[in-house]
Structure formats: structure tokens, C-alpha cells
Amino acid sequence: MKITVIKKSNGKVKTMAACPWILDEPPVAKS
Amino acid sequence: MQASMFNVRVPIERGDEVFLMNTFTDAQLIVSRDVVDLLDRLHGHHEFSDVERETIEQLTEQGFVVRDRAAERDDLKAFFREVREGTDTLKITVLTTLQCNFACDYCIQGDHGDYNKSAAKMSLEMAARVSGWVEGRMDAIAPRRLVLTFFGGEPLLNMPVLYAMAERLHAACAARGVEILVNIITNGLLLSREMVERLNPLGLNGIKITLDGDRDAHNRSRPLRGGQGTFDKIIANTRAVADLTRIAVGGNFEVDTVDSYPALLDFLAEQDFAPKLSKVTFKPVIREKSAQARGTIPLTVVGAEGKPLNGACMTSAGTGVSRVCDSCNFVDDKMAYLREETKKRGFATADGVHMGPCEIHKGHAHTIGPDGSLFACPGFAGEALQSTGHIDGRAEDYRTQALRNFEQLASWEMCNDCAFIPVCAGGCTVASHNELGDMFAPNCHKPSFEAGVMALAREAAESVVGSRWSVVSSQSSVDGARRRRRLTKERAMKGKKTNNPKKNGTLRPWLVDVVVDNLR
């Protein structure tokens, strides 16, 4: 059984800072 | 012990391996098929070999195996509660004005004919009061960060208010030890080096501009009010500020302009400022067949006096003209196509999977109109009756009711066991409100999410083996798309408006029958 981790669990998925459907996200936050 | 309901899987051709993602924990793996088989026989199975137990332990750490479904649903509810109640970030979007110097032919704002006579503009006095209100919110919830976004209309048409608020709130944040990030969503026409240099010390994080396709397509779609093209000026302005701040590029595509986007991407890739572009993301504008010819668009709801009721610059979410939620899968197909075209040119873009929960699900995210009215998101700023409050605290029944409505939003609860709930949250509430006539109903773009996951799988496979692998699109996915098209067509034939499934106890079949088993 082989597992290659591409991305580890963050505990919870990141939420959007703004609206991805209509406004689009502003540029990625610096921190 | 069983497999998580938020597992999605994409078989990878050659190599007999499978890409696994859990949309709740964001974990991504490439596993051998026996691991997938193990996941499939977990439930009700108790005897495992040492190797299997070790694998289960690893899968549990990453969220692919959970105790039971009830516990997982409780975790999901807790997640949405945390999103609503979280105080880490105070998100404020200020509509400095609803006026605009553009005359985009899909704009819902409704003031093209009267040249902004009835479009509201925030006064400096109101800007001071709004700033005071924001300071009060910071004192109440003690956030780690204030994200201040200026929007409109065209926000740069009211620079005195923009500067005044940025300066005051930057000082307020400094005094409270709160990080401030200032964003501007602008059409780019008035963008200048001087402006960016003045805002950088105040916490300017970045600027988003809009280009609707290549030069010709953009100039047709987003002209000045006098009809002149705007593409060249926006590009010149972008070049002028690109070394000072990060620039995100957006664009609104339509059936007749989508093919011009690869040319736009080629153009952008050739520019000296290309490496400075932090993100390039396109979104759809869909016209209804009944929409009138260009230049005679009825636009948004008009009040009794014939004046538009105003609204934010929601270029793809209007009533009657432009729609964010399609009924022909054009959006899903083309968004996936443009994402791939964008990535091919080396630009960062949305991955098509991480789409939510957006700010409307957050209790500490507010949109503030030019008159101080509060809204849950900019998409509702065009409807006075959807105001959730006012910065002066005035108590009005309709605002109280609207606030209650938004606090109860949980359309994802009707999405059954869809694996994409954590990254979708039931879709765009503005689209549900405008297109389904029901803000409590979910709207589904599952094919778009599936395309996004397949792209992630492809990238993951390539990163592991360093060569081009392809992912398998199984028959059930195709069947699901066909079924959705048929059911959507049936729904359209019965009439566009739908009732709230919460109220009548029914669910539209296409909303519950969207789980794609091959991805589970």
C-alpha cells in the first residue's frame, strides 16, 4: 500500500477572503 | 470507522494509482489502488492486517477516514459555525460610490442613460462615521487583521473618501496592533503611480483590474461612457504601477468573447509586467435570450421614480441581463477551459476547487454602501430591502429581518452528502436570489468542481513522476452532466422561479442527485 502525500491536512479547508464567484478574490494576502 | 464523505478520487491513467483529496481537511494524496479498495471496505469491517492498520492510521491523520457519518456532519456544522463566528479577520468592503465612468454593456447598475445623476456617492462626513463604526467593530471583536476593500461603482471616482478612510483606519489599526490589508477593485482607468505610492504606507495589499478579453473584445465590452476604448489606458496604468503593488487581473467572459481570452493571455504573457501579476481569473457573464440589444439594457430594478435602485458593480449577477448561474453548462465548461489556458501561460489562477465558504457566511464581514447601509455581501447592495443594518444603529424591521435571513443561510444543508460542501457551501447566494428567486436554495456547479479536482490530480501526478499523466474522466461523471442538463431543462420548462425547498419539504432532483460516485 503506497501513499504519497501531495498536501498535508490543514485541519480545515481555508475559507475565502472574499467572493470567488462574482467579485473574485483580491490579490493574495501578504501574510 | 468509515471513509469521509468529503473524499474525492480521480483515477490516474498509467501507474494504477489514484489521486485522493479531502475537501474538508484539504489533504491531497496519490495512493495505490489497494488503498482505495481499503477505504471502500472500511465500513462495518473490523479485521485488518498490520499494514492495513498502519495505512488506516495515515488516512485518518489526513481526514480520509472518520469515526462515523454523524460525527463528520457535526464537524461540518462546527466548521460553518466557526466561519460565521470567527473573529480573526474583520472584512469590510466600502462602496465609495455607485457612480462609474464605464458603460459596460452587461452592467446591472442601471444609470447609463442619466450619467450618474442618481448614483450615490459617499460624503467625507459619512466616511468619517463609517470609519468610526469600523473602529467600534474592531474594539468589539479584537480581530488580528482588518481587510479593507474599496469597491463601487468605480471606487477611484471618490478618492477623497478612499484616502480619508485608508488613513484613519490605518492609524486605528496601528493603535490597536491590528494588521491592515487594503484592497481596491477598480476598472483601472484612473489607476496611477501617485495613488499607489500614497496608499502603500497605509497597507495597500493589492489592486484588481478587469480586462474583458483581448483589445477589441474589451473595448466593445467595457467602453467609456462616450464609447471610447479603455484597454490601452488600463494596460499603460498597470505597467506604471506593477512594480509598486501586486495586481490581480479579472475578466468577464461571454459566449461571444470567450474565444478572445487566449489572445488576451498571450498579450499579458508578453508584457514586461507579466511576472508581477499575482493572479489572473475569469468569470462568466451569461445573457438571457430575452435580453435586449446592447445599449438598451433594462438593467437592474428601477424604483417608482424611474431611478435605478443602485447596486454594486456586480458585472455578472444581475436580474434579467447577466447571470452567474447557467443552465447549459457553458459556465462550467468555459471556466475550466480558461483556467487551463491561464495556467499554460504561467499565471496563478483560481484552482476551481477552493471556492468557499465566501464572506456571506461570515458574521464579521460587512459591505457598506455610500449612505452607511450595511449588507451581507456586495451582491445584495443593489436591494435596499436586503440591508442588514446601518452604521448608525437605526432599528428598522426590514433590516432586522434581512439580518436574520442572512444569519440563517445554510443552503449547503440541502446538498445532501455532496463531497464539495466544504469548498462550495451551497454556491453563490446572490445567484440563488437573482436566478432561483430564493436565497436559501443552493446553486450547483459540481461539474466545475470536478474539473478543478481533475486539474489538481493532473498537477499532483506530474509533480510526483515529472511527466505528463492524464486523469480518467469516468462514465458516471459524463452521465451526471447529461442528467443535470436534462433536469435543468425540465426545471426551466416549468418556470424559472422555484420555491424554497425548506418550506415545501421538497428538493429539486438535480440538487440531490449530484454526487459523482466515481469521485468518492
**Stronger pLDDT, A14 or B245, i.e. the higher one:** B245
Q: Which domains does chain B have, with CATH numbers?
A: 2-81+409-519 (no CATH), 89-106+119-287 (3.20.20.70)
Alpha-carbon distance of B152 to B186, in angstroms, equals: 8
Beta-bridge mates of residue B64: none
Which of B359, B362, B420, B429 would best serve as a mutation to test chain A binding (most A beta carbons within 10 A)?
A: B359
β-strand pairing of B89-97 with B365-368: parallel
Flag whether residue B470 sits within 8 Å of chain A, measured between CB atoms. Answer: no
What are the grid coordinates assigned to B177, written together? 496592533
Confidence band, pLDDT 50/70/90 cuts, at residue B52: very high
Confidence band, pLDDT 50/70/90 cuts, at residue A31: very low
What are the grid coordinates assigned to B323, written together? 447571470
pLDDT of A19: 66
Confidence band, pLDDT 50/70/90 cuts, at residue B55: very high
**Stronger pLDDT, B434 or B63, i.e. the higher one:** B63
Query: 467572459: which residue's cell?
Result: B253
Q: Rounded mean pLDDT of B212-236?
A: 91
ipTM over 0.90: no
B246-253, strands of its sheet edge to edge: B277-284, B246-253, B204-210, B179-185, B145-152, B89-97, B365-368, B373-375, B389-390
Question: For the purposes of burial, counting CB atoms within 10 Å of the CB of B196, is it exposed (0-12), middle (13-18) or buried (19 or more)?
Answer: buried
Alpha-carbon distance of B26 to B13, in angstroms, equals: 23
Q: Which residues of B387-413 are buried (b: 16+ CB within 10 A; e: fewer)?
A: bbbbbeeeeeeebeebbeebeebbbbb
Confidence band, pLDDT 50/70/90 cuts, at residue B471: low
Among B383, B156, B387, B349, smallest CA distance to B249 is for B349
Contacts of B67 (CB under 8 A, 6+ apart): B1
**Stronger pLDDT, B481 or B186, i.e. the higher one:** B186
Alpha-carbon distance of B464 to B317, in angstroms, equals: 40
Which of B89, B109, B208, B325 would best serve as a mutation to test chain A binding (most A beta carbons within 10 A)?
A: B208
**Residue B78 in this model has a pLDDT that exceeds 50:** yes
CB contact under 8 Å between B55 and A3, yes or no, is yes
**Stronger pLDDT, B503 or B330, i.e. the higher one:** B330
Alpha-carbon distance of B7 to B5, in angstroms, equals: 6
Alpha-carbon distance of B254 to B187, in angstroms, equals: 18
Q: Rounded mean pLDDT of B447-473?
A: 74
Among B207, B95, B94, smallest CA distance to B152 is for B95
Distance of CA B372 to the CA centre of its chain: 24
β-strand pairing of B65-66 with B322-323: unpaired
CB atoms within 10 A of CB B370: 25
pLDDT of B473: 45
**Residue B505 in this model has a pLDDT that exceeds 50:** no
**Stronger pLDDT, B356 or B344, i.e. the higher one:** B344
How many C-alpha atoms does A30 have within 13 Å on its Cβ side? 16
Flag whether residue B101 sits within 8 Å of chain A, measured between CB atoms. Answer: no
Q: How far is A8 from chain B (nearest CA, A)?
A: 5
Tens digit of pLDDT for each residue in B122-137?
999 999 999 999 999 9
Name the amino acid, one letter, at B44. G
Alpha-carbon distance of B353 to B431, in angstroms, equals: 18
Contacts of B358 in chain A (CB under 8 A): 15-16, 18-21
Instruction: For chain B, give the mean pLDDT.
Output: 80
Residue B415: strand, helix, or coil: coil
| Bond from prior residue into B153 cis (ω within 30 degrees of 0) | yes
pLDDT of B60: 95
| Bond from prior residue into B447 cis (ω within 30 degrees of 0) | no
Query: 433594462: which residue's cell?
Result: B298
pLDDT of B335: 80
Inter-residue contact B499 to B438 (CB < 8 Å) = yes
Contacts of B263 (CB under 8 A, 6+ apart): B213, B214
Query: 442588514: which residue's cell?
Result: B388
**Stronger pLDDT, B172 or B359, i.e. the higher one:** B172
pTM: 0.81
**How many residues belong to chain B?**
520
pLDDT of B484: 46
**Residue B257 in this model has a pLDDT that exceeds 80:** yes
Which of A23, A28, A30, A31 would best serve as a mutation to test chain B binding (most B beta carbons within 10 A)?
A: A23
**Stronger pLDDT, B178 or B220, i.e. the higher one:** B178
Torsion of CA B317, B318, B324, B330, to 10 degrees: -150
**Residue B515 in this model has a pLDDT that exceeds 50:** no
Alpha-carbon distance of B280 to B14, in angstroms, equals: 32
**Residue B316 in this model has a pLDDT that exceeds 80:** no
Among B331, B349, B340, smallest CA distance to B428 is for B331
What are the grid coordinates assigned to B401, written together? 429581518
Flag whether residue B356 sits within 8 Å of chain A, measured between CB atoms. Answer: yes
Inter-residue contact B359 to B380 (CB < 8 Å) = no
Tens digit of pLDDT for each residue in B164-219?
999 999 999 999 999 999 999 999 999 999 999 999 999 999 999 999 999 999 99
Rounded to 10 deg, the angle between the B330-344 and B446-465 helix axes is 30
Flag whether residue B88 sits within 8 Å of chain A, measured between CB atoms. Answer: no
- The runs of H, that is alpha helices, within B442-497 are 446-465, 475-493
**Stronger pLDDT, B325 or B33, i.e. the higher one:** B33
Beta-bridge mates of residue B17: B12, B32
pLDDT of B103: 81
Of the ranges B11-20, B62-71, B190-199, B249-258, which is most confident?
B190-199
CB atoms within 10 A of CB B238: 21
pLDDT of B513: 22
Inter-residue contact B342 to B265 (CB < 8 Å) = yes
Tens digit of pLDDT for each residue in B96-109?
998 888 887 766 55
Of the ranges B277-291, B347-361, B476-490, which is most confident?
B347-361
Residue B211: strand, helix, or coil: coil
Inter-residue contact B154 to B99 (CB < 8 Å) = yes
| Bond from prior residue into A27 cis (ω within 30 degrees of 0) | no
Q: Of B51, B358, B427, which has the smallest distance from its Cβ to A18's Cβ?
A: B358
Alpha-carbon distance of B247 to B115, in angstroms, equals: 29
Alpha-carbon distance of B245 to B181, in angstroms, equals: 12
Total beta-carbon pairs less than 8 A apart between chain A and chain B: 165
Alpha-carbon distance of B208 to B191, in angstroms, equals: 11
Among B173, B132, B145, B152, smallest CA distance to B393 is for B132
Query: 450615490: which residue's cell?
Result: B120
Confidence band, pLDDT 50/70/90 cuts, at residue B111: low
Name the amino acid, one letter, at B186. T
Inter-residue contact B148 to B183 (CB < 8 Å) = yes
Name the amino acid, one letter, at B213. G
In this structure, what DSSP letter does residue B293 have?
P
| Percentage of chain B lying above the pLDDT 90 cut | 51
Confidence band, pLDDT 50/70/90 cuts, at residue B421: very high
